[in-house]
Amino acid sequence: MNSLTSESLTDKEKSDLMQQIKQEVAVANAQEMLSKMSEKCFKKCVIRPGTSLDNTEQKCVAMCMDRYMDAFHLVSKTYSARIQREHDRM
């Protein structure tokens, strides 16, 4: 069996592997965020689940998801800025 070690990879292969891992982590994070957002907004907005959402529930879910995304972007932006500041100090 061929064992894969970091010494056996070229710099390009290492870079490609890191890029692939970053993409997979980003996809997993997006899926988790969508799942949590859906769960939280459903619990908040859908009082009596049925076969469809009425207008009020649809508007509530849409607004909730918008607020959730706005908050997520604000936290992400703030976190990235903090990481950058700490990186710049090194």
| Residues, the chain | 90
Q: What is the per-residue pLDDT for 90?
A: 82
pTM of the model: 0.65
- Model confidence pLDDT, tens digit, residues 40-80: 999 999 988 899 999 999 999 999 999 999 998 999 899 98
Domain boundaries of the chain, sorted by first residue: 10-87
Encoded tokens for 86:
């700490």
Encoded tokens for 7:
């010494």
CA 29 to chain centroid, in Å, comes to: 3
How far is the C-alpha of 75 from the C-alpha of 86, rounded, in Å?
16
- The topology under which CATH files domain 10-87 is Helix Hairpins (1.10.287)
Q: What is the identity of the amino acid at 15?
A: S
Give, as one character, the DSSP assignment of residue 46.
-
Q: Which helix (H) or strand (E) holds 42?
A: helix 11-45
**Is the pLDDT at 30 greater than 50, yes or no?**
yes
